[in-house]
Chain A
Amino acid sequence: MSMPERSEERPPERPHPAVQRDASRFAPRLRQRARFGTLFHGATFAATVVGVVVLVVLLYDVITDGVRHLSWDFLKGFPSRLPARAGILPALVGSVWTLVLTAVIAFPLGVGTAIWLEEYAPASRWKKIVETNISNLAGVPSIVYGILGLAVFVRYMVMGRSILAAAMTLALLILPVIIIASQEAIRAVPGSIRLGAYALGATRWEAIRYHVFPLALPGILTGTILALSRAVGEAAPLIVVGALAFVPFVPTGPLDQFTVLPIQIFNWINEAKVEFHYLAAAAILVLLAVLLTMNAAAILLRNRYSRRF
């Protein structure tokens, strides 16, 4: 650097500042606040980790209780008065039946509603009512859906305590979740795609079916799988709809009586003999395995196919 250039004129003498800066007016207590800050940081971290710790403890508890009862016989067996012979085949089959039927009912209804809301409905009062209604339905306790199912599907429509009644009840339960997730997936598709389709002479439905829907599908499927995984774990509404306590047979049709995995677990927990509690733990492990698979599939789907537009 070269020699500094000196300014010619000197600034006039400045009077002392009019502002009083008496440092004692402030007592910043820096050390104290810093120490407290560290404590607080620790507390927030601990709070976050509490959940993790409980999760680990829970899993440990269930695994140690149930893992020795896991066997092929367990998976293929039927419930029995004797713990040593009991199995979960009817419950597993019942869960699968229910899951498939629920999916078949809820998916078209949910996606159809979402398409209507996002692509067809004018921004009117009616649309607002429908959306508010859906969001309220999402907060209704699951057992109330069971009461609805009991009165309408089991009794009024005389489906009896069947898989069909259960599936319809669960479909209504998870419908709001599917609708909201599908709406988001559809909304994420940029308008330029639609405009491009219209410009080529497509009708509204054609634009949706061939352009918007395929792009939104991964998001829709992810949301649907997550909603279905919730349905798989539900017990309360099915208790009211009438999943049975003791099911010594495998259901073969939608109008058959049935039980599902969570109900079987529930029944075994209620048994007096402690051995049944361990069976319940084993069944829980099976249930968790099913849920893990479904959630992993959903996440894989999202990561693999979701695009940033």
Chain B
Amino acid sequence: MKTIPPPCPVPETGPKYWRSLDQLAETPEFRQWAEREFPAGASELTDPFTRRTFVKLMSASFLLAGFGLSGCRKPEEKIYPFSKMPENYVHGQPKYFATARPTRNSAVPLLAKSSDGRPTKLEGNPGHPDSNGSTDAFTQASILNLYDPDRAIRFAQNGNTVDAETALVALQKIASEAKDGTGLCILAEQSSSPSRARLQAALKDKLPQSKWFVHEPVDFDIHREAATRAFGQSVTPYFKLDEASVIVSLDCDFIGSEEDAYINIRRFAKGRKLERPDSSMSRLYSVEPLMTLTGMNADHRLRIPASGVIAIGALLAQEIAGQSDGDLAKAIASLADDKTVGALNDQLKPSDSKSERKWSPDFIKKWAVECAKDLLANRGRSIVLAGYRQPLAVHLLAHALNAALGNIGNTVVFHAAPEPEKGRGIADLAKALTDGEVETLVILGGNPAYTAPADLKWSEAQGKARKNVVRLGYYEDESFPAKGLSLPQAHFLESWGDARTSDGTVVSIQPLIEPLFGGLTDLEVLATLAGFEKTKTAPYDIVRETFKSLGGGGEEAWKQYLHDGFLADSAAKPVTVRLNGSNVASALASAEPVVVPAKDKLEVVFHRDYSVDDGRFNNNGWMQELPDPVTKLTWENVILLSQKTAEDLGLNIVNYENNQLKVPWVQVELDGRTVEGPAWIQPGQADNVIGLALGYGREKTGRVGLNSGYDAGKLRTTKALHCASGAKLKSTGVKHMLSITQDHGSMEGRPIIREATLEEFRKNADFARKMDMEKPPGMVDGSAMKSLYPNPFDEAKKTAHHQWGMSIDLNSCVGCSACMVACQSENNVPIVGKYQVANNREMHWLRLDRYYTGEVEDPQVITQPMLCQHCEAAPCENVCPVNATSHDQEGLNVMTYNRCVGTRYCSNNCPYKVRRFNFFDYNRRTLEQLKGPVYTTPLLHKTEGEWDLARWWRDPDRGTKPTDEWELLKLVKNPDVTVRMRGVMEKCSFCLQRIEGAKIAQKVKAGASGDVTVPEGTIKTACQQACPAEAIVFGNVADPESRVSVLKKQERNYSVLDFLNTKPRTTYLARVRNPNPAMPDAYTRPWSTEEFIKHNENPSEEGGGHAEPAGAEKKGAA
């Protein structure tokens, strides 16, 4: 410790000098003289009643009064000094740590931001070899789970709280009594952790008779299983979508619900980036029963029941691989018999004769043949994918196709993957439990009582363990053992661990915070069970030990590993494989026949929800409020139907767009089991198919997830986990209210999202700008119109160092919604609950607009991220009576929350409607209190036994949230962003806090050099940072070299609502579709463009204002 020397006192020793003899004598005369003559006003210092003294006293009392008054406005915050200061710690300066979020069989490498010791934001780790620093919505939201007040916070035995020590002793006792492990069964979730694998092996050594079971309600292991079957080798596939020119998805939602979708999005978007008109882009064919994100982005989409997908695969295979192998050809031919294909084809026939352009008696066949031709033309540069919901046969077909097309080793590579033991699924465990073979059941994570197939009756089975049930769980949920031991699980940000990403790279998981509630990790529990010494069960030691075998024992290597967040060069090496034709043929031969559904024999498709996954994000408010990227519904799941099916079943489902979305509550019956839920029409869904999203309708969940949706899992059986047929649906006569964030699905021919085909783009590169409306006179060449009120910003911007702008590539954006959650996390955006969403009061600063074009049976779907456009001539600014929204000299439209009184005029005048208003104190009210229509008023309400008004008086910040909720939720807030109060307007700030942070850092760095311009790439907005497709680019538009400037110079660049002359700083790059002209459903123009032309050919506009020459040119080109 460095000791700071005490301040030097006036030396007492040494010679004393005197000015005169008087001074020496200290006579009163001298003193008086010195005071009068010397330092001016010195006498006042000794006079107690001078003006100066008076002012001093008064200012002190004012200050005191101020202290007293400040109690009314801000709570007092005591800052305690560190008793031991951490090294390099600067108060208020966030730190970043590399870690990872483990997923089912993979992980998301992360850089986690820690603000004064609490994690506040997760970002992808751009250093990771298979990452561009992006993440998915789940990862962005997972930080909220850390601060979930409803998570398991206690150790419990038989439902009673016990202390951690007792619980651990009980666990040790189980371990010591386990002998050889007979009767000990462990049910775990999937994991890619090398440490867990090591402990699993150690456990097997210690307790050889113990049994290990794995359960995942949404299981992606079929990819590995199929690859292993197809190639006769233990391998798992890895898809390089960026290297494919033609992608065929057989019900594979690789953009949305497949594992590691964010990697797929990155690669897919890379293959579709258009820098110039002569750039090439990939083409996506999608065959699917439900409308998925992948289908939304497809150039050609074929809707077909899930069970019929195999027939399309077989049709493709007939064209491509049919001749290669006798057995295989026969198996394939049997799958694509004319009768089945004909029946499927008939399903597509629209009831409405006017839209029959997409149908012919052999439409499906033609579709498949042309698709196959396209694949054949792109041998080695194509890819066929099968989705996890499809049976093994479809996967094998896909592998056979890839093999035949020479894609293996090019667009599809295989990594070695260990094969799990057979017969270790949850069904086997349930049977063992029922047979009484299980003495001790250890459940490591997951929620089997909710997620296990309904036929297993897990809740009952779980209680049949003869001795003990030990459950490590993140929540005290449905699987909470009434009898047995319950251990709280640690969040991944609280625990040590490791994992492998899908490319095989080992990533480290390191804690950013001590476990908030003393939770344990599965590693600790396993180590205890495996009889590790008490000192060796710490997860850190386990992970450190594992690392020795992975990256050597050196301390430097370990530090490097933790610093980087991954082990360099640990990615798996591709394995050379050869298709085992006979395996494929035999599997195809025994494939389930296609069951063409009918209206009284509906097909049910269970799908992983885009918001709550399989239910693990059920209590996460950000995800609950995140609109489903396809349906735009929030807070619950629905029973998805096609329009025709709804009509056939006599259901009247209409969105009257009148804020009262009342839909029929229907009952679905499948094999004697029933569930009830609200029915909803999804355009583009296959007829006679119903889509049920998993993860909702939880019986025991936290205060967020309570009463959200219905439990589709009640219909799921071991045999039909993903698809089932023979369901019946009937209306119950009850109506149910839904909350949707976008009522209107059509763009009404307005050029908001502008599209063209690739062909058109090549001929007519600036097609997007030709859709501009006629500009008011005076700004035709982009020159600014003479304004009545010259914008002061026009002068200021000449001297500013930066001019911020954004470019959003609609051709890359797939609509995954990661940006929305990233923004919510970064900017402290509150959630408002189902009923406030129904009142159109959701607070998302960034939203994804989703439009349908074309017929409801088979629409084209387009999405557009919409956020504050930061208009240079912002309409919101001049109408604000109190100057609360104004421009800074760097072109940002900034909100002064302190100044806002909430007239909401700015929102009315914003043509993009991107401003959000705090109608209530959303941050400080509970969801229950936001329900309406009668809201609790603090004048009459009590919280925790305290009158709300008194509570507010004591601490205005606390609101009416219960203390436990409040204390945790305030930890998740970004300290750099104000938490807005009620009555204040808010909106996207382009992550102003990040901009300012970078500017300050640059100023410090520049020092005397004066180079304060922030270098390109330093600032990434939260949405940009999270975007896997790199669709959002933010930067300095004053720098012509910056990426954003380059993008804005592209031909596809356009502004939304250009004619209003708002001069937005956010511009869009028009979307390009890549249809195959030979396809039976080919189109020469995207349907949104068709709609636009239709609206603009209206004869009433001939010679009118906006029928500009572009329209004529377009007609000429067509």
Binding between chains A and B:
no
Interface set of B (CB-CB < 8 Å, partner A):
none
